[in-house]
Chain A
Amino acid sequence: MGLAAGQTVNAARVEAWLWIAQRLSALLLAACVAVHLAVIIYATRQGVSAAAILGRTRGSPVALAFYGTFVAAIAMHVPIGLRAILRESIGWSGARLELATIALAVLLLALGLRAIGGLV
């Protein structure tokens, strides 16, 4: 990805795969975010407390599966979106752009999994 040599050869393939990843993760996120919005509104009604939140999530395989999917989709979707902004608005390209994209994906995945570790 984004190697200096052969970059033009691979660029078409990289862009096509990033587009597929972005749209697939968008479909997953559409479902996840809809559920998340419903949970947010339900949870605020019930009152926000650690006991209430952890009571819903601790030891729940459903919560683990849902938030696991959510975090994975986020780690895929967000860096691709930020990559477009870095390219179009800041003018990054080449290895710097691809490394930043991968670093963002790793960062979001690590932070997201850590959060799941706290909740479930």
Chain B
Amino acid sequence: MSGPGFAHRNPVRAQPGYLGFLIHRVSGLALALFLPVHFWALGLALDGEARFDAFLAWTQNPVLKLVETVLVILLAVHLAGGLRVLAIEFLPWHRRQKAAVAISAGFGVAMGLIFLLNA
């Protein structure tokens, strides 16, 4: 952003719709970057069950568990945020946009916790 209107820190973005957009975009981008790795890893099964199993055993370390938890949160957040976008575009307007953003973020964190507690 340039120009005098943005000379100060941009308070125009201090509203739930922008936060919802930002969460959706960042989670979507991260998932898109992860997908090729995910597909490649699943494709290891082509090289035989033993190779696949060795890879899966390697993923059981705490660091990767944490990465997986983050991925679960990103996926859940993007799912809930996507439903929020569909609601904006296809359902009658609802005034509680802030609640919609909060609920979708909360759903993501909840799914992450459930995953982590079971991992």
Binding between chains A and B: yes
User: Is A11 positioned at the interface, with any CB of B under 8 Å from its CB?
Assistant: no
- CB <8 Å contact, B36 and A108: yes
* B53 and A51 form a contact (CB under 8 A): yes
CB proximity to B under 8 Å, residues A27-48: 27, 29-30, 33-34, 36-37, 40-41, 44-45, 48
Cα(A48)–Cα(B86), bound, Å: 34
Task: Report whether B86 and A26 are in contact in the complex, using a CB–CB cutoff of 8 Å.
Answer: yes
Kindly state whether residue A50 has any CB partner on chain B within 8 Å. Answer: yes
A87 within 8 A of B: no
Interface size for chain B: under 10, 10 to 19, 20 to 34, or 35 or more residues?
35 or more
Checking B32, B60, B114 against A78 with a beta-carbon cut-off of 8 angstroms, the contacting residue is B32
Report which of A44, A50, A82 forms a contact with B119, defined as CB distance below 8 A. Answer: A44
A107 is an interface residue with CB less than 8 A from chain B: yes
Question: Is B105 engaged at the interface, CB distance under 8 Å to the other chain?
Answer: no
Query: Which chain B residues lie closer than 8 Å to A29 at the CB level?
Result: 79, 82
Question: Given the complex, which residues of B lie within 8 Å of A26, measured CB to CB?
Answer: 82, 85-86
The listed residue (B32, B43, B89) touching A82 by CB distance below 8 A is B32
Q: Which residues of B contact A50 (CB under 8 A)?
A: 45, 49-50, 52-53, 56
A54 touches B49 (CB 8 A): yes
Interface contacts (Cβ under 8 Å), in number, total 94
Q: Which residue of B lies closest to A85 (CB)?
A: B29
B57 to A, closest residue via Cβ:
A49
Verify if B106 is at the interface (C-beta below 8 Å from A). no
Kindly state the separation between the CA atoms of A48 and B118 in the bound complex, as whole angstroms: 11
Whether A33 pairs with B75 at a CB distance below 8 angstroms is yes
Say how far A88's CB is from chain B's closest CB, in angstroms.
Answer: 9
Q: Are B75's CB and A81's CB within 8 A?
A: no
Contacts of B75 in A (CB 8 A): 33, 36-37
**Complex Cα spacing A118 to B74, Å:** 25
Question: Can you spell out 23 A-B residue pairs with CB atoms less than 8 angstroms apart?
Answer: A23-B86, A33-B75, A37-B111, A40-B72, A44-B118, A49-B56, A50-B52, A50-B53, A51-B53, A53-B56, A54-B49, A81-B28, A82-B29, A82-B32, A85-B29, A108-B39, A111-B36, A112-B35, A114-B39, A114-B43, A115-B38, A115-B40, A119-B45
